[in-house]
Amino acid sequence: MKAQWHSNRRKEDLKISEKYREMSPAMQNRRELTFLFQEAAFAEKMILYHVIDLEYLDESKKELFLKDLPEARSVIFLGTPIFEPLLLMEQTIYGSRDEKKTTMVESQVECDLRSFSDKLETMGYDVTIKLPTILPDPAFAELLALTRAGFRGKNQRLIIEHFGCRICVGYLVSNAPLMGGDYRYPDFDQNQCGDCQLCLEACSAGALTEGGYDAKRCRDYRDDPKNQKRIAAHSIEKCNRCMASCPLGAKTNWA
């Protein structure tokens, strides 16, 4: 079992795989850079922090990231748990140029992504940011599952250990030569949905089916004022039943 950020870490928990053990100056730089960012994630108590080294990813999957940044070498995933449904309340934020609709948890993850992006750019690396979504998204969930920190559940969301699908995740693509892996959590990539159908049954829009998701149905249902709850003048709660109904993830059980 690898160490978690909230437990005491031991040297033997920080296993460096064989491919990163070479004693060249270039590899030494990679190790130092990797642990610098790992420490930042520890310090900022990121619940999900995972790096993929694109050198070791299949060509077809690598393309998904190279289209964002052709010379990319690594991807950093950052995620924060949704401990209560109020974090999913949609708010209208008025800026100097435009208005923007967002949720508190998406804003939080965007801040984290921008903070890590600044760190990388300060060191001279190029970065692109992929903001999180709080909607089901099969392609995005599949991409997040490349971390092996979780799997794509029937509700078309990433499901990770302890926190289930109630986690909001975005990522950064950069040309920083970071080593891949996560030195805190064991892999959690075995699908655990089994015969459960709770999220499919909870979706009043009929947008979720076994293995499928109709994004238009989901959006139409969520955007219909009849299916929304007004919390304050510029804050509404939209449907999140497929997230709320999932029994996996005891640490974020809203009940």
Q: How far is the CB of 117 from ligand SF4 (least distance, A)?
A: 29
- The partner residues of 208 in beta bridges, in order of sequence, read 213
Candidate residues 177, 196, 228, 237; the one interacting with ligand SF4 per rule CB under 6 A: 196
Q: How far is the CB of 159 from ligand SF4 (least distance, A)?
A: 6
Q: How far is the CB of 125 from ligand SF4 (least distance, A)?
A: 36
Asked if 2 interacts with ligand SF4 (CB under 6 A), we say no
| Whole-number Å distance between alpha carbons of 191 and 156 | 12
Angle, CA of 96, 223 and 249, to the nearest 5°: 95
Q: How far is the CB of 221 from ligand SF4 (least distance, A)?
A: 4
Candidate residues 198, 228, 235, 237; the one interacting with ligand SF4 per rule CB under 6 A: 198
Asked if 205 interacts with ligand SF4 (CB under 6 A), we say yes
Q: Contact, 123 vs 161, CB < 8 A? A: no
Candidate residues 2, 31, 62, 241; the one interacting with ligand SF4 per rule CB under 6 A: 241
Nearer to ligand SF4, 129 or 202 (CB): 202
Near ligand SF4 in 146-165, by CB under 6 A? 153-155
Q: How far is the CB of 130 from ligand SF4 (least distance, A)?
A: 20
Candidate residues 50, 168, 203, 252; the one interacting with ligand SF4 per rule CB under 6 A: 203
Q: How far is the CB of 210 from ligand SF4 (least distance, A)?
A: 9
Asked if 221 interacts with ligand SF4 (CB under 6 A), we say yes
Which H, E and C letters describe the chain, residue by residue?
Answer: CCCCCCCCCCHHHCCCCHHHCCCCHHHHHHHHHHHHHHHHHHHCCCCEEEEEEHHHCCHHHHHHHHCCCCCCCEEEEEEEECCCHHHHCEEEEECCCCEEEEEHHHHHHHHHHHHHHHHHHHCCCCEEEECCCCCCCHHHHHHHHHHCCEEECCCCCEEECCCECCEEEEEEEECCCCCCECCCCCCCCCCCCCCCCHHHHHCCCCCEECCEECHHHHHHHHHCHHHCEEEECCEEECCCHHHHCCCCCHHHCCC
- Quick count: other Cβ atoms within 10 Å of Cβ 246? 23
Q: Site for ligand SF4 (CB under 6 A): how many residues?
A: 24
Candidate residues 175, 193, 235, 253; the one interacting with ligand SF4 per rule CB under 6 A: 193
Binding mask 89-128 for ligand SF4 (x = CB under 6 A): ----------------------------------------
Return residues touching ligand SF4 (CB under 6 A).
Answer: 136, 153-155, 193, 196-199, 202-203, 205, 207-208, 218, 221-222, 239-242, 245-246, 248
